[in-house]
Amino acid sequence: MRPRDLLSKWDNLLFLVFIFAVLFRQVWLIAFSVAVSVVFTAARIWNYYALSRITYRRLWRYRRGFPGESLTVRILTANEKILPLPWLRTTDPWPLAVGPQDETLLSPSHIADQGNLVNLYSLRWFEKVERTVALQLRQRGIYDLGPTQLQSGDPFGLFDNAVEHDNQEYLTVFPEVLPLERLKLDAEDPFGDRRARRRLVEDPTLPIGVRDYHPEDDFRHIHWPATARSGQMQVRMFQPVSSQVMVVCLNVSTSEQPWLGTYHTMLEQLVKVTATLVVHGVEDGYAVGLISNGCLAHADRPFRILPGRSRDQLSLLLQTLAAVTPYTTTPFEKYLVKAASNLPYGATLLIVTALVTPALLETLISIRRYRTHTTLICLQAAPPPTIPGVRVLHLPFSP
């Protein structure tokens, strides 16, 4: 029987007792029934207003970090009304991967890899209570916090009430950045295009005019409308740019067939290698981009971040890698061919993969004609085959 139904029966019983006492002139019984009714009424009113104007806030200095780091969160709970609260219980769902350093602070939850941060309060009128919790960042990812459940009631323990406080927030744990030496890259020329970075090339996506045709010009750059108007062979002129663009291509597939599942330890290593390339690329002066066939958390499609040198580019790249999941909607080979056609001309491609399949080999052979600076970084146990025109690095991974 629900508490509300039980209390309704008590109300009916008290009413019958009151009528009986009046009919038989039992003063003490009249006083008793009235007193109990007054207590019930006061308890109902108290319970009705108990959770009004209650605030629960998480106060952060930082909400992002790397695995192994620690953060602090201040939890501010306030009763912003004149009615005091004899008891208040807050239940905040909290992922274990970013849980408190003292793991006993979390109570068990029915959801896997999650606990509940429970706090009990007794708040006077217009009182605020602040508590500080030290958190330990344990694993890469973007984690949801909240919503928080608030529960309170009357001081007599007759009623209780619960509401859900919509205060969802996100806590980001970036992937670990490895030392560049562990990737076995050449310290003098880590990305394999040092000479090309100083050479000025023409970007065919940036035309700036036309000029007369020279024998060494590419036949594909002939401007036929201008040739028809002038009566002489004309070719397009393009904006000269320096090839300081790098795009990291991450293949999140760890098995040849999707139904074979995901090797999560291998996936984390792939993300770490990608993060290392991204960070060192930005530090080395590249405009760094990122593409992957993996979907992001709370998304259902592959992502692409165009190269850029903005102040927030590195933060965007690392936050995107923090959200990478093993779920794919497109084979990596098809996605790479489609995405490579939209990348800047002369960009250096760094392809990070756990497997080198025949389909990927065919794709690399086909794109090497117009992507002269391509590096394949493979983490599978067996050495990958040699691909003419493609720099191959073998980093066998063992957990």
Per the CB < 8 A criterion, the answer to whether 187 and 79 are in contact is: no
Instruction: Let me know whether 155 and 282 are in one domain.
Output: no
312 Cβ contact list (under 8 Å, min separation 6): none
pLDDT digits (tens, 9 = 90+) for 48-71: 899 999 999 999 999 999 999 999
State how many domains the chain has.
4
Rounded to the nearest integer, the mean pLDDT of the chain is 84
- Assess if residue 202 is contained within a domain: no
**Token reading at 218:** 């590419």
Instruction: Let me know whether 156 and 258 are in one domain.
Output: no
Residue 57: C-alpha distances to residues 64, 229, 380 (Å): 18, 70, 46
pLDDT digits (tens, 9 = 90+) for 116-157: 999 999 999 999 999 999 999 999 999 999 899 999 988 888
Looking at 30, 49, 68, the residue that finishes a domain is: 49
- Assess if residue 201 is contained within a domain: no
- Assess if residue 127 is contained within a domain: yes
- Assess if residue 399 is contained within a domain: no
- Assess if residue 386 is contained within a domain: yes
Instruction: Let me know whether 316 and 219 are in one domain.
Output: no
Instruction: Let me know whether 107 and 211 are in one domain.
Output: no
Burial class (CB in 10 A: 0-12, 13-18, 19+), 147: middle
Instruction: Let me know whether 190 and 212 are in one domain.
Output: no
CATH number of the structural domain spanning residue 323: 3.40.50
Of the candidate ranges 139-148, 252-261, 264-273, 382-391, the one whose mean pLDDT is the lowest:
252-261
Residue 196 has pLDDT above 50, yes or no: no
Instruction: Let me know whether 40 and 60 are in one domain.
Output: no
Instruction: Let me know whether 277 and 390 are in one domain.
Output: yes
Instruction: Let me know whether 61 and 121 are in one domain.
Output: yes
- Assess if residue 94 is contained within a domain: yes
The band of 10, judged by pLDDT with boundaries at 50, 70 and 90, is: low
pLDDT digits (tens, 9 = 90+) for 198-215: 444 565 666 778 888 888
- Assess if residue 145 is contained within a domain: yes
Amino acid at 67: P
This prediction's pTM:
0.78
90 Cβ contact list (under 8 Å, min separation 6): 56, 77, 118, 119, 121, 148, 149, 150, 151
* Residue given tokens 């992002």 in the structure block: 64
Span 384-390, average pLDDT? 85
Q: Which domain holds residue 285?
A: 180-196+243-394
First-to-last alpha carbon distance for the chain, in angstroms, is 55
Instruction: Let me know whether 14 and 83 are in one domain.
Output: no
CATH number of the structural domain spanning residue 135: 2.60.40.10
**Token reading at 221:** 């750059």
Question: What is the pLDDT, as a whole number, of residue 342?
Answer: 78
Question: What is the pLDDT, as a whole number, of residue 9?
Answer: 59
Instruction: Let me know whether 125 and 167 are in one domain.
Output: yes
Helices (H), the chain: 3-23, 27-49, 194-198, 224-230, 264-283, 313-322, 332-340, 358-367
Residue 111 has pLDDT above 90, yes or no: no
Span 365-394, average pLDDT? 84
Instruction: Let me know whether 234 and 262 are in one domain.
Output: no
> What one-character DSSP code corresponds to residue 44?
H
Burial class (CB in 10 A: 0-12, 13-18, 19+), 248: buried
Instruction: Let me know whether 321 and 247 are in one domain.
Output: yes
